[in-house]
Amino acid sequence: AQKITQTQPGMFVQEKEAVTLDCTYDTSDPSYGLFWYKQPSSGEMIFLIYQGSYDQQNATEGRYSLNFQKARKSANLVISASQLGDSAMYFCAMRGGIQGAQKLVFGQGTRLTINP
Amino acid sequence: NAGVMQNPRHLVRRRGQEARLRCSPMKGHSHVYWYRQLPEEGLKFMVYLQKENIIDESGMPKERFSAEFPKEGPSILRIQQVVRGDSAAYFCASSPPLSGANVLTFGAGSRLTVL
């Protein structure tokens, strides 16, 4: 079975600092995908970044990058130059191989608060 | 170019009533997924549908919950005889054919409160 673990219930960071949100995963599928979503207080789920298990390079999208360490089964999200608008819940999620391709398994989330 | 549309955004029901949540996928998307988010938790997969077919309902509770995606119209998640434990946010997501979950687009969610 697939599992996502986010060990940081809450993080507090000063504005303009970089922040790393931890995510570890467990799967026996050789092919999988890893996602990060942001959920602001308004409640919607906003896709941030995706990393495929066979991708050679770490994914980047603007201020977001994914620190993918396959041997350690970790997929940490790095947000550079944090902004007040980054305050939200952040969820790490995994897509399985062919069998589980239609499902995402989510972690418990990390609540990030950016202080001015 | 509307995204995934869910309604109602908020729904209040008394115990024993029925709740119907609707989801219109993005244009060109023929695959619909429903997820449930309990308070302070991550989303959990419920069901995956294509037009007129339930592909995977392994996350659906065995009783009271049903889902459909008819040939015409939105997908419907139906909860009969609601109980307080059904209070949650219900998210719909859609994807184009043959894409798996790589390009899931989520709706804004429907928040069900059971009194």
Q: What span, in angstroms and rounded, lies between the C-alpha atoms of B57 and B59?
A: 5
* Contact across the interface for A47 and B42, Cβ inside 8 Å: no
Q: Are the beta carbons of B50 and B69 closer than 8 angstroms?
A: yes
Q: Is A104 on the interface with B (CB under 8 A)?
A: yes
Q: Is A49 on the interface with B (CB under 8 A)?
A: no
Residue A102 scores a pLDDT above 60: yes
pLDDT at res. B101: 56
Residue of A nearest to B41 (CA): A108
Tokens 């608060």 found at: A113
Q: Are the beta carbons of A15 and A75 closer than 8 angstroms?
A: no
Task: Find the helix or strand (DSSP H, E) in which B27 lies.
Answer: none
In this complex, which of B35, B89, B100 lies closest to A101 when CB atoms are compared?
B100
Residue A101 scores a pLDDT above 70: no
In this complex, which of B89, B104, B109 lies closest to A104 when CB atoms are compared?
B104
Segments of chain B with pLDDT less than 70: 1, 98-102
Residue of B nearest to A111 (CA): B40
* Contact across the interface for A103 and B45, Cβ inside 8 Å: yes
pLDDT at res. A41: 92
pLDDT at res. B96: 82
% of chain A residues with pLDDT over 90: 81
Q: How far is B3 from chain A (nearest CA, A)?
A: 12
Q: Are the beta carbons of B91 and B71 closer than 8 angstroms?
A: no
State the pairing for strand pair A10-14/A110-115. parallel
Q: Is A43 on the interface with B (CB under 8 A)?
A: yes
* b (16+ CB within 10 A) / e for B36-56: bbeeeebbbbbbbbeeeeeeb
pLDDT at res. B102: 67
In this complex, which of A42, A102, A106 lies closest to B43 when CB atoms are compared?
A106
Q: What is the mean pLDDT of residues A58-70?
A: 96
What is the CB neighbour count within 10 angstroms for residue A50? 18
Q: Are the beta carbons of A38 and A89 closer than 8 angstroms?
A: yes
* Contact across the interface for A43 and B43, Cβ inside 8 Å: no
DSSP state of B86: G
Q: How confident is the model at residue A81 (pLDDT cuts 50, 70, 90)?
A: very high
- How is residue B88 written in tokens? 């949650």
Residue A97 scores a pLDDT above 80: no
Q: Taking the alpha carbons of A75, A76, A80, A85 in that order, is the dihedral positive or negative?
A: positive
- How is residue A106 written in tokens? 């989510």
pLDDT at res. B100: 58
Query: Does the N-terminal peptide bond of residue A40 adopt cis geometry, omega within 30 degrees of 0?
Result: no
Q: Is B97 on the interface with A (CB under 8 A)?
A: no
* Contact across the interface for B31 and A95, Cβ inside 8 Å: no
What is the CB neighbour count within 10 angstroms for residue B83? 12
